[in-house]
A and B are shown apart, each in its own frame.
Chain A
Amino acid sequence: MNKVTAASPRARRREPAAPRGPLLGDGLLARAAFLIVPPVVVGLLGVLLIQLVISRFEISGVVIPKPTDVYEVMSSDLFLEQVGQSTWETWKATLIGFVLGAGSGVVLGALMAESRVARFVLYPYVVAFQSLPKIALAPVCALWLGFGLTMKFSFSGMLAFFPAVIATLAALSTVPETRVEMATAFCASRRQRFFRISLPSAMPGIVSGLEISMAFALIGAIVGEFVAPSAGGLGQLLLTYSEAINVAAEFSVLVVLMVLGVLQNKILFGVVRAGTERFFESSR
């Protein structure tokens, strides 16, 4: 039982390994079928089941909307227009918040990893802030920064900041010592040691942290929109539909959010991960 691995912050990124021996055979087609068919079957059956149960037992649309109603809402021009604009509003705040928050987080994490004094002095503050449920700061943020874009991206940046600090610090302090010592033996300057040895080795860990930061940035933007009544965006749209008890539209917004989350957390970061690996491969 390896206790250290499970305790490390990267343990949360652990996902099950890809299926090895497919059930149906070893051909490429069988493999692809094994990846695609079960989710599609589950999805279709699930939607069908929900639809049937709702119409059979006459469950009110306020509790769970019929999948067909959700589809109807999602394909209406008005909804598409509203959602397009709101998604951009939300994602703009997410992106600005992520760049500012995660960027400064990586810098602070690197500073703490490189300077023992900085680490010792700042560590208690990082821990204290880390344990504060930062959502609770949303009302204060709204008070200080108003109800607009500034408040949204500041709050989203604050949520994105801490995962980046922690991941960068953890990744840089677990760089194999032998490599650092070898660089020192070859008279590398401190700067060379950092940029040529430590940073490339730590990159996968830092990217994992950034992925978490990005997810938190999106949460931050939405909570900002919940708290600030005139901020616009998907959070506001959700509240508006909620007040109108238009549950089908609410579910449609949730579907949009889910797609947005998958796009930015899985697909965007898949590309970023592959890119950084390729970029730093030469120096590793």
Chain B
Amino acid sequence: MTAAPKHAPSAGALPTGPPPPRGGVVVRWGGLALVTVVLLAAWQILPSGVQGNGSSVPKLDAVLKALGPSGEWGNYLKALRVTLGEAFFGLIVGFVAGVVLGVLLGESRILRQGFYPYAVALQALPPIALAPIFVIWFGLGMESKIGLVGAATLFPILVSTMAGVAETDRGRIEMATAFGASKAQIRRKIVFPGLVVPIFSGLEISVVLSFLAAIAGELISANSGIGVILQVYQRDFRLAEEFAVLTILVVVGLVLALLVRLARHVVLERMPNE
């Protein structure tokens, strides 16, 4: 704390990454290491200290053991494959529907006026609440989760695509029209390239949502997947395994977020510069 500059001259570091380690490097890394060690030590020591309900928090070494080579990796990976498959296929459904509807609503003002209030209302509905209905429609298998993920991921992409179309630079369209470009040409050369950035910002939200919606759907009713093994482990009081699965989810979530950023980077690099 003491090494923090009293009048930080430039507090404009981007919040999307840790601040540059300028000044007080020892304090920063020391603080991070200290907090980590204290947390891990507390995780190891405290659960045994609270003997009354000690079984409801597994000790650190038990979780590490469940994550080690003797853990049930067969079960973890099988469930993860199901859940990621649901998230992936659902995301494709939501993505295609979102982009198509977004372009339609963005291009026609009368359609936008007519449908947008309903899109807002549907977006205000927590997508998770649709899970019981999708189970009735599609059963307990992967299909109901794919439908749920599609419904959950549709709206962020729809809204950002529509905004992208609506915010296309009028001046450029007018110029292209003046040079005799057809409607199709304007779409292909001006409107669609401008959609890449907004679609990616929608996709970033939707990827997180897809994983979340798949697990939520499985918690309600399913026959395999992460949501199911979490509940099975809990029912059997095998909390070390349950926490191991949660740890794996953290890693998978981080990897997914990184993948989207990477994809955005690659696509933007490849795009012809204007």
Known: A173-B13, A266-B124. A117 touches B31 (CB 8 A): yes
Nearest chain B residue, comparing its CB with the CB of A180 = B11
Which one of A6, A136, A254 lies within 8 Å of B198 (CB-CB)?
A: A6
- A residues 36-89 in Cβ contact with B at 8 Å: 38-39, 41-43, 62-63
B4–A116 touching, CB < 8 Å: yes
For the complex, is A108 an interface residue (Cβ under 8 Å from B)?
no
- A residues 255-284 in Cβ contact with B at 8 Å: 257-258, 260-262, 265-266
B18–A123 touching, CB < 8 Å: yes
Instruction: Write the nearest CB–CB distance from B80 to chain A, whole angstroms.
Output: 12
Instruction: Write the nearest CB–CB distance from A49 to chain B, whole angstroms.
Output: 13
A19–B113 touching, CB < 8 Å: yes
A265–B31 touching, CB < 8 Å: no
Instruction: Write the nearest CB–CB distance from B189 to chain A, whole angstroms.
Output: 14
- B residues 109-125 in Cβ contact with A at 8 Å: 109-110, 112-118, 120-125
Q: Mark B235-271, 1 if CB is under 8 A from A, else 0.
A: 0000100100110011001101100000000001000
B219–A139 touching, CB < 8 Å: yes
Instruction: Of the listed stretches A95-103, A147-155, A235-243, name the one at the interface; the rest are far from the partner chain.
Output: A235-243
For the complex, is B28 an interface residue (Cβ under 8 Å from A)?
yes
For the complex, is B103 an interface residue (Cβ under 8 Å from A)?
no
Residues of A within 8 A of B174 (CB): none
Q: Mark A227-249, 1 if CB is under 8 A from B, else 0.
A: 10000001100110110010100
- B residues 11-29 in Cβ contact with A at 8 Å: 11-16, 18-19, 21, 24, 27-28
Known: A19-B109, A19-B113, A120-B31. A261 touches B15 (CB 8 A): no
For the complex, is B197 an interface residue (Cβ under 8 Å from A)?
yes
A173–B110 touching, CB < 8 Å: no
Contacts between chains A and B (CB distance < 8 A), count:
220
Which one of A16, A42, A124, A125 lies within 8 Å of B167 (CB-CB)?
A: A16
Residues of B within 8 A of A30 (CB): none
B18–A119 touching, CB < 8 Å: yes
B124–A265 touching, CB < 8 Å: yes
A16–B219 touching, CB < 8 Å: no
B250–A132 touching, CB < 8 Å: yes
Known: A131-B253, A136-B249, A226-B128. A170 touches B15 (CB 8 A): yes
Nearest chain B residue, comparing its CB with the CB of A251 = B133
The CA-CA distance from A170 to B116 in the complex, in Å, is 29
The CA-CA distance from A179 to B27 in the complex, in Å, is 29
B136–A3 touching, CB < 8 Å: no
Known: A117-B28, A247-B133. A12 touches B250 (CB 8 A): no
Which one of B18, B110, B125, B219 lies within 8 Å of A23 (CB-CB)?
A: B110
Residues of A within 8 A of B125 (CB): 254, 257-258, 261
Q: Mark B13-50, 1 if CB is under 8 A from A, else 0.
A: 11110110100100110011001000000000000000
- A residues 91-134 in Cβ contact with B at 8 Å: 113, 115-117, 119-125, 127-134
B219–A226 touching, CB < 8 Å: yes
Known: A239-B132, A250-B133, A262-B121. A131 touches B257 (CB 8 A): yes
Which one of A6, A130, A247 lies within 8 Å of B201 (CB-CB)?
A: A6
Instruction: Write the nearest CB–CB distance from A183 to chain B, whole angstroms.
Output: 10
Residues of B within 8 A of A190 (CB): 6
The CA-CA distance from A130 to B253 in the complex, in Å, is 8
Which one of B1, B114, B129, B205 lies within 8 Å of A117 (CB-CB)?
A: B1
For the complex, is A28 an interface residue (Cβ under 8 Å from B)?
no
B126–A257 touching, CB < 8 Å: yes
Instruction: Write the nearest CB–CB distance from A232 to chain B, whole angstroms.
Output: 15
Could you name 19 residue pairs across A and B whose Cβ atoms are closer than 8 Å? A3-B268, A12-B160, A16-B166, A23-B110, A63-B137, A116-B28, A117-B3, A119-B18, A124-B32, A128-B250, A136-B249, A138-B219, A177-B10, A218-B126, A222-B126, A234-B129, A239-B220, A261-B124, A261-B126
12 new A-B contacts at CB < 8 Å, known A117-B27, A258-B122, A262-B121: A16-B162, A42-B118, A116-B5, A117-B1, A117-B4, A120-B32, A131-B253, A133-B211, A136-B249, A139-B219, A144-B56, A226-B220
